[in-house]
Structure 1
Amino acid sequence: MISYLKVLRIKHWIKNLFLFAAPFFGGKLFEESTLHLALPAFISFSFCASSIYIFNDIRDIERDRVHPEKRNRPIASGKIRKNIAYLLSAFLFSISLILSFKIGFYFFYFIILYFLVQVGYSIYLKTIPILDIFCIASGFVIRVLAGSAAFNVEPSRWLLLTMFMISLVLATGKRLGEVSLLEDKIAEHRNSLNSYSISTLNEILVISSSAALIAYSLYTVEQFHKLIYTVPVVTFGLFRYLMISKQGMGDPTKAMTHDKLLAATILIWLLLVWYMRY
């Protein structure tokens, strides 16, 4: 039973909180219509994401077995058979489709879009340097757009740009963590990682972080002037993430759940936005 829970990667569901970005920043998070759909939307997207995680684990089973951490995953370690994993992936995606269709057509559309992009990433796109980072980043942006569709909230263009740049930061940090962890075994895990040097990833990380900070600053001016006072907190959070990424902890889920200072910074920022918007 524990293996089946692990294969879902429930800890990674924290990334699906991006669904609530538009209603949160739009001041509509606590409206009855939003709260009514919050749990079904979150479960629907989480089940879709888990179905992709399982599919990706099946395809990467041989490469994961040479990875110092991924070799302990249920499918790579042989605790869950491939045929059972396929059935579980299909079941989760089916439930996701049913729930998303009941929520709304456009949310249903974004669920399918996310699934197709991530399947494409798993099968081929992750072998193309730079494009693989954009594919990972697109997953976060699709979450924001899906949340906007589910809760009928039109997101600011600056908010979307901010989320995209933040997504590039998180995707690059993830790649940096992988390259740092694998070291001489990069080629055994994935050939595309050979194209990345730590210095190149650091440069991409700095550029995308700078762009994210500029976009967020412009968003605060456009949307709600008081939010500009949250920019120093966001700056500190970005600096902290840059630092721990270079220490090999760039995976977004691991960073947010294991680094107490970063988690506290995010919490303080969310509380400030909540206080100013509500």
Structure 2
Amino acid sequence: MIDYLRMLRIKDWIKFYPLFPLLGAYLAGGGRSEIMLVLIAYMFIIGYAFVVNNYYDAEIDRQHRGKVESGTNPLAMGRVDEKGVLLLMSALVSISLFISLWLDLLGAAFVVLNLLVLTAYSARRIRLKERYLWDMASHGLMFGTLPFISGFVLSGGDPSRGIILISLLVFIVGCEALIAHQIVDYAEDVESTTTTVTRIGEKNGLLMLGGLAALSLVFAFASARFYQLSLVMTAASTLCLVAYPAYSLRGMLNDIGHRPSAERGGAYRGDPEVPSKPIPGKRELRDSGSRWGLR
């Protein structure tokens, strides 16, 4: 049973991703019970996101010693069976949909859309996580905009221009989360899979992350002005938006400036100094599908 709980990878998301649906529910003026139900529903939805990712990545993860030793994918380690994982995913989806339908029909429709994007992110043949720029956009939608809008509508909110501004802000933060993750995993990813950062290179990935952080500040100031937030609230929001990407890359910022190019490896499409090195047995998994491939 404990291995099925590990499939949810709760430690990977509990501190961050539930904030967006909660923010939506709070801004909608939801009562305590509504906010709690939104939180419970999205705990199941986010858990589903990580289980479905593990499910489709099991074959790939078996070939990575580090991932096997970390124990983050019990399916890849053979500690749970595929049928049990499918039942787990069905239960997570069913409970989240039941709660959503209980709260609001339109909100439930946004939840369904969220679940579809979460599935398409990892599913074979679609595999948005390995499509250039689509990985970033889908991540911003499925962990930022859609949870925020769903939480807002499930709590009885009526979207306005201000809510649209905030939904764009959380979309950008969701994009930042993925780009930061891809930068951290660049050395491993560049030899085995396709991501936006492996295609543009590590330095360009850092520039993209900085650009997204700057853009998030623009939307934060626009939202603060629309809602006439106090100077203290505006300053606190600005500090968080600046600190988040830096915190995500803690331990790397100094290292990147000192590592030689050869140690980092080149971009996926060919850094002229250091071409990427394919790993036998892994490229075939990717190239059997569409242009962007499957891991």
TM-score by length of 2: 0.73
Question: Match of 1:22?
Answer: 24
Displacement, 1:116?
Answer: 0.7
The answer on whether the counterparts of 2:107 and 2:151 sit within 8 Å (CA) in structure 1 is yes
Cα separation, 2, equivalents of 1:103 and 1:23: 12
Supply the distance in 1 between the matched residues of 2:229 and 2:54 (Cα, whole angstroms).
45
1:162, distance to aligned residue in structure 2 (A):
1.8
Identify if the C-alpha distance between structure 1 residues 134 and 185 changes in structure 2 by more than 3 Å, giving closer, same or farther: closer
Conservation of the 8 A alpha-carbon contact between 1:158 and 1:219: yes
Any gaps of 5 or more consecutive residues in structure 2? Answer: 254-295
Distance 1:127 1:105 in 2: 33
Q: Is this contact kept in 2: 1:121–1:135, CA < 8 A?
A: yes
- Larger CA deviation: 238-247 vs 128-137: 238-247
Write the letter of the residue equivalent to 1:160: S
Are 2:220 and 1:216 aligned? yes
Quote the offset at 1:4 in angstroms: 2.0
Instruction: Give the match for residue 37 of structure 2.
Output: 40
**Cα 1:40/1:23, change in 2 over 3 Å:** closer
Which AA in structure 1 matches 2:42?
F
> 2:48: which partner in 1?
51
Aligned residue identity for 1:147 = G
Distance between the aligned counterparts of 2:137 and 2:252, measured in 1?
20
Residues in 2 aligned to 1:85 and 1:55: alpha-carbon distance in whole angstroms: 9
Amino acid corresponding to residue 176 of structure 2 in structure 1: V
Give the CA RMSD over aligned residues: 2.3
1:142 maps to 146
Q: In the alignment, does 2:240 pair up with 1:240?
A: no
Aligned match for 2:61, one of 60, 64, 84: 64
Code of the aligned partner of 1:164: F
Aligned to 1:98: 98
Shift of 1:134: 0.7
Q: How many Å apart are 1:245 and its aligned residue? A: 3.1
Instruction: Note the 1:190-229 alignment, pairs <5 A.
Output: 190-192=193-195, 194-226=198-230, 228-229=231-232
Could you tell me how far 1:148 is from its partner in structure 2?
A: 0.9
Residue 173 (structure 1) aligned to one of 173, 180, 185 = 180
Alignment-derived partner of residue 230 in structure 1: 233
Separation (CA, whole Å) in 2 of partners of 1:249 and 1:232: 26
* Contact 1:47/1:95 (8 A) holds in 2: yes
Residues 60 and 196 of structure 1: is their aligned pair in 2 closer, same or farther, counting only changes over 3 Å?
A: farther
* 8 Å contact kept, 1:176–1:248: no
Give CA-to-partner distance per residue, 1:120-178, whole Å, 9 cap, x none.
11122112111101111101110000011111123523222222222222222122222
State the TM-score, normalized to the length of structure 1. 0.78
Asked if the contact 2:44–2:92 (Cα under 8 Å) also holds between the matched residues in 1, the reply is: yes
Contact 1:22 1:147 in 2 (8 A): yes
CA distance in 2, matches of 1:125, 1:185: 15
CA contact (8 A) 1:129 1:196 kept: no
Over 3 Å counting, the alpha-carbon distance change for 1:92 and 1:178 in structure 2 is same
Count of residues in correspondence between the two structures: 240
Supply the distance in 2 between the matched residues of 1:249 and 1:67 (Cα, whole angstroms).
22
Structure 2 match to 1:107: 107
CA drift at 1:23: 4.2
Judged with a 3 Å threshold, the aligned counterparts in structure 2 of structure 1 residues 149 and 185 are, in CA distance, closer, same or farther, namely closer
> CA-to-partner distance for each residue in 1:62-114, whole Å, 9 max, x for gaps?
22234465322222222111221111111221122222111111121111101
Determine the C-alpha separation between the residues in 2 that align with 1:169 and 1:55: 22
Which has the higher Rg, Structure 1 or Structure 2? Answer: 2
